[in-house]
Amino acid sequence: MIELKVHHRDGTDTIKAEENAFLLQVLRDHGYEIFAPCGGKGICGKCKVWRKGEGSVNSCVHRVTESMEIVLPDKREARILVEQHNHTLSIPYLPGPALNLSGYPHGVALDLGTTSLVFYLVNLISGSVVETRAVLNPQAQFGGDVISRISYTSEKEGGLSELQKVILNSINEQLDHFVEFVGISGDDIVKVTISGNTTMLHLLLGVDPLSIALAPFIPNFTGEQILNGKDLNLHCHPDGEIKVLPSISAYVGADIVAGIASIKPSEEWKNYIFMDIGTNGELALVTPGSIICCATAAGPAFEGARISCGMGGLEGAISAFDEDGYTVIGDISPVGICGSGLIDVVAYLIENGLVQADGLLEEDFIVVPGDQTETGNPLSISQQDIREVQLAKSAIAAGVNILLKHANLNSDEIDKVFLAGGFGNYFNTESAMKIGLISSEFSGKIIPLGNTSGTGALSALKSIHFDDVIQDLLKRTKYIELSDHEDFTMDFAMNMMF
Ligand code: FES
């Protein structure tokens, strides 16, 4: 066995590792969380740790051959969107029979996202939200996006139960916190409602997600799942109801279903588009008679995974940029550029003629010189970064076009464009229109809604009537598979231009 000294924010540990083991795996086995968005394939370069005497190394491909000293990167605080939106459907408050399990019943609504988990603790007598908490999804150490995590479950023996275990542990940690915070017992948590994308829900329930990643992309389940607390060993009432909300397809999950269902009908928006942009872009066009939805593989550009200086929406990320300068999340020197900052930078480059309509960038653009960054290295945008942005934005724009064609509508017949999720909440819509991520024809109609998935999970927690709303929505919904759609390739190519 080889000895390693590990320096981290809270001190120094000495650990032992097998000779030739990969450093990432060793650190992970000892409980350190290392961000590894490409799932340890050596592609993304985001799993770097500092090896004394050698400099920074990609831990996923670095083997332990001799005793070494490792410095872990500081854990950064994430900017996680928890706000519910204020266009929420109003339905009668009726949490259902689980209420009878305790004299002081509480419930938890959970938005189980790929990047973050958002929990809402609700007093089920009054219906009020007692506490909201958000944590990063600990599965990120196994891959930043759903495909990396699915690969992990299929390539690593025991990988599926490992991923299920870390997510259940994280949920239980939060349930324990709630119990302590409010001074209740675990048995007083009698109902938990969960929304999330289809892969996250498979991983939560320990169901093999591999078919989600392979054509024809058929998940093992999409319907609502009802379990008890004891089925998942959750730290709540053993007979408490665990309700996993229904999905539509492999890439249009319960987070989208819950989000659309949470929006109140209005005279103001007869026809509207619902967009949730992340690694995938989930899109729905809602009209009075039908809902047409699709998902596009937008690529990880807006999550920072394949951008040279990219990072998630964490402390140290440049989140906004214009000719007057940049904004950094947290009060520290910049470390990288997150999705909203990236959109601003590309919009600036287009506006100033530094990027051509076909995406050509003459030379790397320095966003922040090295003397202003935390690492001393400049933050810049390369030609390859621009190409990644083109791929992502054209996939979304082409998806919207296909929905409009299927509904026989023109852009000017769309009353509103609702943006769901953290990314949609933070990016500058003007910049998004400049780069062609969102059509400029939607100018003045865009409304960021915040955490729609969490809002939907809360509605499901508070009222059994929300089930009817969801069932009605599912009956009216048609899913379009874009990967074999005849118009998609052409639309995608057309939208690559700036
Ligand atoms: S390069 Fe190591 S996780 Fe991506």
> Do 140 and 238 share a domain, yes or no?
yes
Is the residue at 350 inside a domain? Answer: yes
> Do 222 and 364 share a domain, yes or no?
no
* pLDDT band with cut points at 50, 70 and 90 for residue 305: confident
Contacts of 188 (CB under 8 A, 6+ apart): 102, 104, 105, 106, 179, 237
**Mean of all residue pLDDT scores within the chain:** 91
CA of 227 to the centre of ligand 1 (A): 36
Domain boundary among 330, 346, 381: 381
Ligand 1 pocket check for 44: Cβ under 6 Å: yes
CA of 25 to the centre of ligand 1 (A): 12
| Minimum-distance ligand 1 atom for the alpha carbon of 36 | 3
The pLDDT > 70 percentage for the chain reads: 97
| Minimum-distance ligand 1 atom for the alpha carbon of 42 | 1
> Do 122 and 218 share a domain, yes or no?
yes
Is the residue at 484 inside a domain? Answer: no
Is the residue at 460 inside a domain? Answer: no
Is the residue at 387 inside a domain? Answer: no
> Do 105 and 53 share a domain, yes or no?
no
Domain boundary among 226, 259, 292: 259
Quote the domain boundaries for residue 201: 97-259
What is the spatial distance between Cα 198 and Cα 54, in angstroms, rounded to a whole number?
A: 41
Note the pTM of the prediction, 2 decimals.
0.85
> Do 202 and 66 share a domain, yes or no?
no
Ligand 1 pocket check for 138: Cβ under 6 Å: no
User: What are 193-240's pLDDT values in tens digits?
Assistant: 999 999 999 999 999 999 999 989 999 999 999 999 999 999 999 999
* pLDDT band with cut points at 50, 70 and 90 for residue 356: very high
> In the chain, how many domains are there?
3
Give residue 263's Cα distance to chain centre: 20
Ligand 1 pocket check for 60: Cβ under 6 Å: yes
Averaged pLDDT for residues 349-374? 94
Tell me the CATH number at 239. Answer: 3.30.420.480
Check: CB of residue 456 under 8 Å from CB of residue 416. Answer: no
In a mutational test of the pocket of ligand 1, which residue from 58, 151, 311 has the highest number of ligand atoms less than 8 Å from its CB? 58
Ligand 1 pocket check for 6: Cβ under 6 Å: no
| Minimum-distance ligand 1 atom for the alpha carbon of 58 | 2
State the CB neighbour count (10 A cutoff) for residue 125: 13
> Do 101 and 164 share a domain, yes or no?
yes
CA of 39 to the centre of ligand 1 (A): 6
Ligand 1 pocket check for 68: Cβ under 6 Å: no
* pLDDT band with cut points at 50, 70 and 90 for residue 337: very high
Tell me the CATH number at 13. Answer: 3.10.20.30
> Do 245 and 152 share a domain, yes or no?
yes
| Minimum-distance ligand 1 atom for the alpha carbon of 45 | 1
> Do 163 and 205 share a domain, yes or no?
yes
> Do 64 and 101 share a domain, yes or no?
no
CA of 143 to the centre of ligand 1 (A): 9
> Do 19 and 104 share a domain, yes or no?
no
Domain boundary among 238, 259, 280: 259
Is the residue at 170 inside a domain? Answer: yes
Check: CB of residue 420 under 8 Å from CB of residue 274. Answer: yes
CA of 397 to the centre of ligand 1 (A): 29
Is the residue at 285 inside a domain? Answer: no
> Do 107 and 62 share a domain, yes or no?
no
Is the residue at 189 inside a domain? Answer: yes
Is the residue at 411 inside a domain? Answer: no
Give the per-residue pLDDT at 82: 66
* pLDDT band with cut points at 50, 70 and 90 for residue 81: low
> Do 192 and 113 share a domain, yes or no?
yes
For the cut 80, the answer to whether the pLDDT of residue 86 exceeds it is no
Contacts of 157 (CB under 8 A, 6+ apart): none
| Minimum-distance ligand 1 atom for the alpha carbon of 24 | 2
User: What are 366-389's pLDDT values in tens digits?
Assistant: 999 999 988 788 999 999 999 999
| Minimum-distance ligand 1 atom for the alpha carbon of 48 | 2
Check: CB of residue 140 under 8 Å from CB of residue 35. Answer: yes
For the cut 70, the answer to whether the pLDDT of residue 299 exceeds it is no
Q: What is the CA angle 166-225-277, rounded to 5?
A: 65
- Tell which residue, 150, 148, 77, 85, has the closest CA to residue 111: 85
